[in-house]
Amino acid sequence: MANSTVTSVSYGSFAQYSFMAGAFASYTKHKLTFEAFALAGAEYLYLPNTAINVVITSPGQAQYTRTVIYNTYLAFAYGGGIEAAYSLYKNLSVSLAADCLLAGVSYHSTRYDEYIQNIGYTYYSSGLAQVFMPGIKAALRYSFGK
């Protein structure tokens, strides 16, 4: 019979900066305005790194450790969304928007297996993680020059 314990530690912080440009279309009916937009550009993502340690008490294997380190740099990103705004006064409205952003961040991973017989193996891998960030926003909007 096998027993296992898992310890996962994330360290570091999360930061996101977008440098995007795009197009939008809007439709107004009385006091209600609907907008749809599409964006493309650069995304700077800083993701927390992760260390996972698994200890398995079973015949043959004693410990498994995996560390994932994300690289931080500007990467291509794209996204889009929809927004509905209701006009309260001439230049003031309230809005509700749903949007999403997709960006890729590269990572490298180290996996170390240590067996009961004190034999250890290390595996290295790297790749591109796709990061999908959905969002819902409520706002009070003020328009200049209306």
For the segment 114-134, what is each residue's pLDDT rounded down to a tens digit?
766 666 778 888 888 888 889
CB count in 10 Å sphere of residue 103:
22
| 3-state class (DSSP) for residue 46 | strand
> What pLDDT is attached to residue 102?
92
List the beta bridge partners of residue 97. Answer: 83, 137
- Using the predicted structure, report yes or no on whether residue 3 has a pLDDT greater than 70: no
pLDDT digits (tens, 9 = 90+) for 6-27: 676 777 777 888 899 999 999 9
- pLDDT bracket for residue 75 (50, 70, 90): confident
Q: Is the pLDDT of residue 62 over 90?
A: no
The answer to whether the beta carbons of residues 84 and 93 sit under 8 Å apart is no
Alpha carbons 104 and 127: distance in angstroms, whole number: 10
